[in-house]
Amino acid sequence: MHGAVDSTEAIRRWDLHARATWADLGPLDGDRHRVILLNPALFRFLPDVNGKRVLDAGCGEGYFCRKLARLGARVTGVDFSREMLSLAEERTDLELGVRYLHANCEHLEGFALGSFDVVVSNMVLMDLPDHRAALKSFSRVLAREGTLVFSIAHPCFSAPGHGWVRDDQGKRLHWKVDQYFYEGAYEQSLFSADVGDQPLLFHRTLSNYVKALLEAGFELLDLDEPKPSEEMLVRYPGYEHHLRMSHFIVFKARKR
């Protein structure tokens, strides 16, 4: 576990991993977790984006920007990792018209009040140290009654040391949760240790996220803990254990 870390240190680690590991995690449409769990949940919550000004906050290599742009949205993708942004630019056809900009979600300097109709932020808020500041920035750049949809690693299942407990044959027995009330950073273990320091996950409780959302001037409209659909389970039977716990939680909120 880690002491206090600022967003510059958090991003140094994302810069390290952008090309070395993240770029290969999935196809250009998002990795399996995104295809099976996150994308359906995000699209259930998003309004019709055609013609809307949409900010993808923490866009990474840009797969969700590309999806939104194909649906007719006027998309801006921001990320604080320059390496991620350069990958996004390489991977995105110019004709989609996505605008990629370097920015820290905790500040979003340079964006005027109310400049977006929709903000989407997919798996970002648990990766930055000041989620309160980021939620306030999202609120500031959203137009009144604008929609915020964001996903995070489910805080109830992603406390430090989480994971499946298995028997001698490797069969999953149960998911282990401990230190739920610990709030702070720990190293993620999804990435190759050969590359160097692992990206950090900033763990906080579920109530902490909800309070931060309300304090930032949002009304919470809905929550989802995505499960694989029956159709997805036919295509990806290896996802059956995702019916036993929830890796992700997705929020839908409206700016008051």
Ligand X SMILES: C[S@@+](CC[C@H](N)C(=O)[O-])C[C@H]1O[C@@H](n2cnc3c(N)ncnc32)[C@H](O)[C@@H]1O
Residues that bind ligand X in the complex, under the rule CB under 6 A: 7, 10-11, 14, 58-60, 63-64, 79-81, 84, 104-106, 122-124, 127-128
Q: Both tokens of residue 138?
A: 């999202």
- In the complex, the smallest distance separating the C-beta of residue 188 from ligand X, rounded to whole angstroms, is 9
- In the complex, the smallest distance separating the C-beta of residue 2 from ligand X, rounded to whole angstroms, is 15
Instruction: Name the residue number minimizing CB distance to ligand X.
Output: 60
Nearer to ligand X, 17 or 255 (CB): 17
- In the complex, the smallest distance separating the C-beta of residue 166 from ligand X, rounded to whole angstroms, is 25
> DSSP per residue over 186-216, as a string?
EE-SSS-GGGSSPPEEEE--HHHHHHHHHHT
Nearer to ligand X, 9 or 172 (CB): 9
- In the complex, the smallest distance separating the C-beta of residue 126 from ligand X, rounded to whole angstroms, is 8
Nearer to ligand X, 159 or 250 (CB): 250
The residues pairing with 93 across neighbouring beta strands, listed in sequence order, are none
- In the complex, the smallest distance separating the C-beta of residue 173 from ligand X, rounded to whole angstroms, is 28
Phi, then psi, of 186 in degrees rounded to 5:
-145, 160
Nearer to ligand X, 32 or 172 (CB): 32
Query: Do the beta carbons of residue 229 and residue 46 sit within 8 Å?
Result: no
Nearer to ligand X, 122 or 246 (CB): 122
Query: Do the beta carbons of residue 188 and residue 13 sit within 8 Å?
Result: no
- In the complex, the smallest distance separating the C-beta of residue 170 from ligand X, rounded to whole angstroms, is 27
For the chain, give the number of residues: 256
Q: Determine the Cα–Cα distance for residues 188 and 190; give it in Å rounded to an integer.
A: 6
Nearer to ligand X, 40 or 58 (CB): 58
Q: Which of 223, 235, 188 is nearest to 36 (CA)?
A: 235
